[in-house]
Structure 1
Amino acid sequence: MVSLVALAVNAIVGLVILFIANVLGLGVQISLVTLLVCAILGVPGAILVILLAVLNIAFVATVVPAVLAVFV
């Protein structure tokens, strides 16, 4: 059985990896879903989210042009 400390450390490291990937400009959307995936799955979840974002399958950060942002 895995200890709770190991799960918490894995979740924290996964979230840190997600934020580092975002700072490096990999275009990962940070939302509630991505945070939950990284918190629950940890490092494998962060790798999955980054891989899906890089391949433009899911979790891709979108940029809303300033003209459209006024109407939203």
Structure 2
Amino acid sequence: MSTGRTAGAVRPAAAVLQQISDAAGGNDAPAVRDDQFLCTRSKVRQADLTGGTAVVRTSPFSALAAI
């Protein structure tokens, strides 16, 4: 099965991310109204491995995001 790409057409991830960054930075951010926010709550689980054994911590997390 052919994807239409040749080996020479593959670009490094950094080049693709730079192109995405340039495209996103070239656009103005849309105006967000006061009624376009969403508050979410979740629990975040993380493991601390610095002591040689996994110490699992669960903590609440709240975020305010524009929708």
> What is the TM-score normalised by the length of structure 2?
0.30
- Answer 1 or 2: which has greater helix percent: 1
- Answer 1 or 2: which has greater strand percent: 2
Q: Which has the higher contact order (CA 8 A, sep 6+)?
A: 1
> What is the TM-score normalised by the length of structure 1?
0.29
Structure with max Cα Rg? 2
